[in-house]
């Protein structure tokens, strides 16, 4: 009897497990329609071009899905909406990916590492020529953004600390107008606003992201569960991205003009912004950057800044609270709370021509 019961129990467990596996498979959230949010920035204009010219549709059709690239006017709002689940993916920087969706508990993956800022973010002073002159001033910027991070790194370079200045939170939409105010004497922002302000009377660019290369990274971030269950989405987006990158690399004037117009500038202005953007035209370059030893070190630095400023979430007890994974088995932080992942899977497929 004991033997019979044991066998029956084993059969029951096996049947239950099989049913569970089947149910899990059936519950996998395979979809056919996806939405990805983007905002205006030189390194993200290729997504708009891909949408407007049908390149996105072509790649989506290849994989039997539909993808809509949705422009959101406010950058932080686009990330908030992605974090809330409105979008399947969103463009954002490495720091914002860590401090908004990842710190908020949304497991996210950097599908495409598109570029890093190489002068696109900067500190501007009015009527002063040296960064050290910022001491004692109020500094206007989007608080707790990459501008804040850049300011902290800039202050370090001249032996100052944040206690030596006062941060004034100012939205990116208001930053250009703010510089015209007599009360504003220094600010931090990114392009295209940076170029516009730097061209104003009495404005001096005293520090920019070219001094910290590879630390402000622009990426396409996707919900991890979504791309794991829908690899066709990851393939289609990656294929579309590198098709546009090929046009940018060869200097296709028609494509560049379209991106310039859509971002509110002309071809000369757009090319000027491209010069301060380390755009990874070739997928192999992005793979090399993503698999480098430097990336985990950069993210550790970003994580420490985020913890010091209280933006890793209420439960964070140290800078390692949010775990991160990188290619080749590299990790950082709490591995029982991994919420941000860097992968080279699909960029590698693009570099090998297997998408």
How many beta carbons lie within 10 A of that of residue 109, not counting itself? 24
Strands, sheet with 166-169, edge to edge from the N-terminal-most edge strand: 166-169, 138-141, 186-190, 121-126, 203-208
What is the structure's pLDDT at 17? 39
What is the structure's pLDDT at 173? 81
DSSP state of 328: G
What is the structure's pLDDT at 16? 40
What is the structure's pLDDT at 56? 98
**What does the alpha-carbon distance between residue 36 and residue 196 come to, in Å, rounded to a whole number?**
29
How do residues 67-125 score in pLDDT, each as one tens digit? Answer: 999 999 888 899 999 999 999 999 999 999 999 999 999 999 999 999 999 999 999 99
The CA distances from residue 154 to 6, 124, 163, 197, 230, in Å, are 69, 11, 14, 19, 41
Domains of the chain from N-terminus onward: 33-118+215-352 (3.40.190.10), 121-211 (3.40.190.10)
What is the structure's pLDDT at 28? 59
Which residues, given as ranges, of the chain have pLDDT below 70? Answer: 1-29
Question: Who's near 121: CB < 8 A, 6+ residues apart?
Answer: 146, 147, 150, 188, 189, 190, 191, 194, 208, 209, 216
DSSP H helices, 114-262, are: 146-157, 175-179, 193-198, 224-229, 231-249, 253-262
């Amino acid at each position: 009897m004991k033997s019979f019961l044991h066998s029956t129990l084993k059969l029951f467990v096996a049947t239950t497990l099989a049913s569970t596996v089947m149910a899990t498979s059936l519950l996998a959230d395979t979809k056919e329609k996806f939405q990805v949010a983007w905002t205006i920035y030189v390194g993200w204009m290729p997504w708009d071009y891909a949408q407007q010219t049908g390149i996105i549709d072509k790649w989506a059709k290849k994989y039997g899905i539909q993808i809509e690239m949705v422009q959101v006017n406010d950058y932080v709002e686009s990330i908030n909406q992605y974090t809330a689940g409105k979008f399947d993916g969103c463009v954002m920087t490495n720091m914002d990916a860590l401090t908004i969706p990842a710190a908020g508990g949304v497991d996210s993956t950097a599908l495409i590492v598109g570029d890093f800022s190489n002068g696109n973010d900067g500190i501007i002073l009015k009527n002063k020529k040296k960064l050290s002159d910022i001491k004692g001033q109020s500094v206007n910027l989007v608080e707790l953004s990459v501008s804040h991070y850049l300011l902290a790194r800039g202050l370090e370079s001249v032996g100052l600390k944040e206690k030596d200045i006062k941060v004034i939170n100012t939205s990116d939409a208001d930053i250009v107008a703010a510089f015209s105010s007599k009360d504003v004497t220094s600010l931090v922002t990114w392009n295209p606003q940076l170029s516009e302000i730097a061209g104003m009377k009495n404005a001096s660019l005293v520090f920019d992201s070219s001094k910290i290369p590879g630390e402000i990274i622009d990426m396409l971030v996707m919900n991890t569960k979504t791309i794991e269950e829908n690899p066709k989405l990851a393939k289609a987006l990656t294929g579309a991205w590198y098709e546009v990158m090929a046009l940018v690399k060869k200097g296709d004037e028609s494509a560049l003009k379209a991106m310039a117009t859509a971002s509110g500038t002309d071809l000369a202005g757009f090319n000027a912004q491209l010069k301060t953007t380390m755009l990874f035209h070739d997928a192999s370059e992005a793979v090399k950057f993503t698999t480098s030893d430097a990336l985990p070190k950069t993210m550790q630095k970003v994580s420490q800044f985020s913890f010091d400023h209280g933006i890793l979430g209420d439960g964070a007890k140290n800078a390692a609270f949010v775990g991160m994974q990188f290619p080749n088995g590299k990790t950082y932080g709490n591995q029982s709370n991994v919420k941000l992942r860097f992968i080279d899977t699909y960029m590698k497929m693009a570099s090998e021509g297997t998408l």
